[in-house]
Structure 1
Amino acid sequence: MPNTPSNRRPTLKDLAREAGVSLASASYAVNGNGSVGEQTRAHILSVAQRIGYRQNSAARAMKTGRSGTLALLVPDLTNPFFPALAQAVFRAARAAGYTMFLIDTEGNEALEQAALAKGVDLGVDGIAWFPIRDKDTSAGVLARTPVVVLDRTVPGYAAIGIDYLDAGRIAARHLLDAGHRRIGIISGPTDIASMRDRCDGAEALICGEGALAFRVENAFSTDLEPHAQAAITGGGATAVFAAADVIAIGALRYAQANGLRVPEDVSILGFDDIPLAEQSLPPLSTIELPIEDIAQHAISELGKQIGRPHASSAALRIVHTRTRLVPRLSVRLLG
């Protein structure tokens, strides 16, 4: 046991004394840097575990100006997409040596603004932000904080997403290649650029090679609004592209509850590839939103910004990751 009072947390000096090394070597070992041999490092870390030594994050932050923490803001944890995204971002952050805070802004811009300010007040090194809309609600509090925006377009911030126009074309191409010519689109909220783009990309290809049966809007919810319900049962479409999986699952359930078989009577294609997509009956064909790639790019971009805190905003980048079709059983091949 360490030679320290039982009510006192072991310090770096205690660790160095217990391990029989210099203070510098003890510091190098626990911080994973500097010049120390691997056997010595392993010995020091073993002693650290035995005596219960843990780094003092507050002291480290005062010394380095960095807390080793990041914040992730998402708009709605009741949407199954966001817990899956959060796990991917947490994994990427851990691999890069960061601890993360998760904040659900509940689709409320006032909560979003307060959460951004709280992240800055807590001294996080950077913020991964999935905004509610394509709108900067920060009220200027992020001027000195590295930020990366996920899946949205907010001027002045680095952004990570996919080529949504192309993703929409991939969706339409799949339905057209399956023989469908009257295709409907159920969009999510169209005040979001990524949503408009995926639906515009799909619509352009559908109109070029078939006919657009309808294009209606719905909230990010499995509960369909009346105009979306009417479109499914009365719009004459043999296939529907629902531009978010939660909407697609709602469309699938509504169709089945109203006597339509999926995919025999109407095919349904989603977007996101949330975990529930594979578990629906039938399993939902969808377009993947590659959250692991998005998470990796987001943490990488934050790391670059943290490493150059005084860089010009002109250096901020927009990163597009690649997507793909995930075919399952909700789309029928017409003879």
Structure 2
Amino acid sequence: MRKKRVTLKDLAKAAGVSLASASYAVNKTGSLGEDTRTHVLKVAEELGYRQNLAARATRTGRTGAIGFVVPDMTNPFFPSLAQSIVQRARQSGYSVFVTDTEGDQAQEEEVVRRLIDRGVDGIVWFPVKDENSIEKVAADLPIIVIDRTVTGFECIQADYAEGGRLAADYLLAAGHRLIGVIAGPMDVRSMRDRCGAASEAIERGGALAYSVENAFSTELSGDVASAIEGGAATAVFCGSDLIAIGVMKLARKLGIAVPDQLAIVGFDDIPWAEYCTPALTTIEMPVDEMAAEAVDALLRKIDGENESNRRVVFGVNLIVRESVLPAK
């Protein structure tokens, strides 16, 4: 036979406190002495008490769960960001449903619809593009956009242009004057900002050897491969670490020594960057800070606070490793 579920009433009786005090203790709310709270939680653990989330949702209209939608979980940047989102949400007593759209903007509406059907209280959304593809299904749901720029939403971002300048200035300071730029997809503002700023800085202090575009992938397009093989640049700035790792791989295949013959700077500081050979110099995205602000802003919206769809921008840092040497 199934064991009878321990109720809040059972907990209150066993702990010798009122029903309200038991509720305050397990929900971390209300005015309750620390000794009493500790005592109730200890008894709850001994009894095996677990909150009935379905009952709480019926009572409060909230499930205590949020959604996190990303473009592509195969990109190592996103699992790191998801972990930071989950950790921050957990600190506030929330669970997180994490899902991706496989880089397909057409899937975003359906993915969000399914999260809404599961009763999430709000969503942190990393869109595929800078477009509101979910307007039909999520008009009344609290949503925070991270990384992208979508009109009508509060957006949490990094200073991508500053990152591009930092990367270019570092290569110029190392004596490189012929520098290539390999951008990620330029249909999003964050990529245009980082690569545009890098190109401008390069042209002020040297010459732009080439500017080509690639998917967020270690697999390089024919145009990118031709640019690297042509050898016009002594250094290259890549719009993402995945692309930079792909360039390293191709350089080895072509017999181009990194960083002796080709210096490389990436962008994102994904976990792989530190373990490349050579370790990748890159621009560090403030993932933990962006995740914390995204979750906190979402919870404020869930609580009914109106912050007029702010645009919050965090600074970035240059992480110097081993993939850049002074120009010869």
Match of 2:236 in 1: 240
Percent identity between matched residues is: 51
Aligned AA (2:154): A
Greater mean deviation of Cα atoms: 297-306 or 106-115:
106-115
The farther-off stretch of 105-114 and 14-23 is: 105-114
Which of 315, 321, 324 matches 1:328?
Answer: 321
Alignment of 1:292-303 (within 5 A): 292-303=288-299
Q: Does the CA contact (< 8 Å) of 1:214 and 1:235 recur in 2?
A: no
* Deviation for aligned residue 1:113: 1.2
Amino acid at match of 1:170: L
The answer to whether the aligner puts 1:256 opposite 2:249 as a matched pair is no
* Paired residue type of 2:148: R
Which deviates the most, 181-190 or 51-60? 51-60
SS of 1:315's equivalent in the other structure is coil
- Which residue of the partner structure matches residue 180 of structure 1? 176
Give, as a single letter, the amino acid of the residue that structure 1 aligns with 2:67: A
Q: 1:328 is matched by which residue type in structure 2?
A: R
Where does residue 59 of structure 1 map in the other structure?
A: 55
Measured in 1, the distance between the counterparts of 2:54 and 2:106 equals 29
SS at match of 1:66: coil
2:263/2:323 contact within 8 Å kept: yes
Maintained 8 Å contact 1:81/1:272: yes
- Cα offset for 1:36? 1.9
Q: Is the 8 A contact 2:234 2:327 kept in 1?
A: no
RMSD of Structure 2 on Structure 1 (CA): 1.3
TM-score, normalised with respect to structure 2: 0.97
Following superposition, the deviation at residue 110 of structure 1 comes to: 2.9
- Could you tell me which amino acid in structure 2 is paired with residue 301 of structure 1? A
Stretches of structure 2 that go unaligned for 5 or more consecutive residues are none
Q: CA deviation at 1:144?
A: 1.4
**How do 1:56-205 residues align onto structure 2 when only pairs under 5 Å count?**
56-205=52-201
After TM superposition, which residue ranges in structure 1, 4 or more long, deviate above 3 angstroms?
Answer: none
Q: Given that residues 213 and 235 in structure 1 are in contact (C-alpha distance below 8 angstroms), is that contact kept between their aligned partners in structure 2?
A: no
Return the alpha-carbon distance in structure 2 between the equivalents of residues 31 and 133 of structure 1.
38
Please report how far the alpha carbon of residue 140 of structure 1 lies from its aligned counterpart in structure 2 after TM superposition: 2.2
Per mean C-alpha deviation after superposition, the further-off stretch among 287-296 and 116-125 is: 116-125
For structure 1, the residue ranges without an aligned partner over 5 or more in a row are none
Task: Choose from 312, 316, 319 the match for 2:312.
Answer: 319
Structure 1 residue 291 and structure 2 residue 291: aligned?
Answer: no
Mapped partners of 1:302, 1:248: distance in 2: 33
Match of 1:282?
Answer: 278
The residue that corresponds to 2:15 in the other structure is 19
1:6 Cα deviation from its structure 2 partner:
5.7
Q: Could you state the TM-score of these two structures normalised by the residue count of structure 1?
A: 0.95
Question: What displacement does 1:327 show?
Answer: 0.5
Q: Is the 8 A contact 2:158 2:313 kept in 1?
A: yes
